[in-house]
Chain A
Amino acid sequence: MALIDLKGISFAYPNGNLVLEGLSLSLEEGDKIGLLGENGTGKTTLLHIILGLIRPAEGEITIFGERYETEQDFKKIRGTIGMLFQDSDDQLFCTTVLEDVAFGPLNMGMNRREATYTAEQTLDKLGISHLKNRVPYQLSGGEKRLVSMATVLSMKPEILLLDEPTNGLDKKTGKLLVSVLQKYPARAWIMISQIQSTIEAMSNKYCKMNGGRVDLV
């Protein structure tokens, strides 16, 4: 059984621009898909559709063998599928780094002590414990990305959707992020990236967006 199975997904923006057209994709256990494609071909849109952030005009989304259609359905899955956004400023909004990392665990029903513990552990794994009392918006670009990653990993997701994880990072921070992700016991992930070294280091399957569909390369 595929972990995520998309069938015949079509999506158009309100301006009528059709970005996805009859797209099908299945993510199997152990798949580390590197998703390639030019700008504006709907890669980010695809990830948002998997998490129910936007609804396709047509098509079926099956996750762990169950059909997902409404907001209520997707709410259940959002802790299990973690998504790293392209722009860290979208993801970080709390007073302190620690609070931001604990936000997900608290929403999942952990109490304050458990959430703080989980957040601290996650920061430690990423080697950024020293940032825990800093204000997220005052961090550098690289630090922001690492903290964003921590906010996702602290929810212990089984599947990851990564939107350009190493984009705009210096070599050292990029390598650190890749090594953290390689060690993370994810069952599968889909990663968008334009950076050849990241794609090579982190994928075992390559897909290319083409005319609203995904082709296996």
Chain B
Amino acid sequence: MTCEHFALGESILHSADPRVKLLLAAGYAVVTVGLESLEGQILALLGGLLLVIGAHLSLKEILRRLFVVNLFVLMLWLILPWTTTGSGVVHWGPVVITSEGLNLALSITLKCNTIILANLALLSTSTIFSLTHALAHLRVPSKIVQLIFFSWRYFHVIDSEFHRMNHAIKVRGFKPGSNLHTYRTYAHLIGTLFVKSLERGESVHKAMLCRGFDGTFWLLSHFYLRPSDICLGCLTATYLLLVIGIEWSSPWH
């Protein structure tokens, strides 16, 4: 699985304390969503870009991910400009393109890309395991943390179970097509996967009970806040304050 593609690396962001990164990512998203002025939004996007540059991530991979997101954004550009009411800029018969619609689409595009960039730089540079640990340290309810943790841990097992079954049907000459046989086969496959997952869950629980598990998750390793983490936190927070300042001084506000 290559889901943790970006987690390998040696930049400042990779080695930063995941608790700090989680807080910054949350802060960055909240501030970005609340921005209304174009200056503020562009500044936030610039910050996101700076973070990605700081994380030394592969440009190709970043573009590939942004492309997927922007396909959805493209849909908004096709719909929002003529479905939003406001002052018309272009008139094509019954269709009126409004400046409000264009502004809305632009704003969503900027915000969306900003948040993706910031999250790529801040979150995907940590492994899921260290992020879940960080969540636990930040006192997020233990049940939520365990849910995320186990989903991730057993996603791998269930994924490989799916591939094993998929190989098993292929070697028996199965060729997927648009027919009832294919649908039925996939229905069986997914149904079996659900049952297997349930049974896996039960066995894991039994194995945990055998080792004295009673609902408490003990954390063995601790994170240590280093000066570089505080620097990163302060720098990014200051930048966000700057964005908020620009937002408030802008005539759009």
Q: Tell me the minimal C-beta distance from B250 to chain A in angstroms.
A: 45
State the interface size on chain B (CB cutoff 8 A). Answer: 24
Bound-state CA distance A48–B218 (Å) is 25
Bound-state CA distance A96–B133 (Å) is 12
Number of A-B contacts (CB under 8 A): 75
Q: Is B209 an interface residue (CB 8 A)?
A: yes
Q: Tell me the minimal C-beta distance from B211 to chain A in angstroms.
A: 4
Bound-state CA distance A75–B216 (Å) is 14
Main secondary structure on B side of the interface with A:
helix
Contact A78 B150 (CB under 8 A): no
Interface 1/0 per residue, B108-133 and A, CB below 8 Å:
00000000000000000000011001
Which residues of chain B come closer than 8 Å to A151, judged between CB atoms? 211
Bound-state CA distance A69–B252 (Å) is 71
Contact B210 A51 (CB under 8 A): yes
Which residues of chain A come closer than 8 Å to B156, judged between CB atoms? 137
Contact B212 A79 (CB under 8 A): yes
Contact A102 B210 (CB under 8 A): no
- What interface size band does chain A fall in? 20 to 34
Contact A103 B218 (CB under 8 A): yes
**With known contacts A89-B157, A95-B129, A107–B218 Cβ distance under 8 A:** yes
Bound-state CA distance A182–B203 (Å) is 27
Q: Which residue of B lies closest to A88 (CB)?
A: B207
Contact A53 B220 (CB under 8 A): no
Contact A78 B211 (CB under 8 A): yes
Contact B209 A53 (CB under 8 A): yes
Contact A53 B218 (CB under 8 A): no
**With known contacts A90-B204, A99-B220, A116-B220, A83–B210 Cβ distance under 8 A:** yes
Interface 1/0 per residue, B22-55 and A, CB below 8 Å:
0000000000000000000000000000000000
Q: Is A155 an interface residue (CB 8 A)?
A: yes
Q: Is A13 an interface residue (CB 8 A)?
A: no
Question: Which B residues contact A (CB, under 8 angstroms)?
Answer: 129-130, 133, 150, 153-154, 156-157, 200, 203-204, 206-214, 216, 218, 220-221
Question: Which A residues contact B (CB, under 8 angstroms)?
Answer: 48, 51, 53, 75, 78-79, 82-83, 85, 87, 89-91, 93, 95-96, 98-99, 102-104, 106-108, 112, 115-116, 135, 137, 151-152, 155
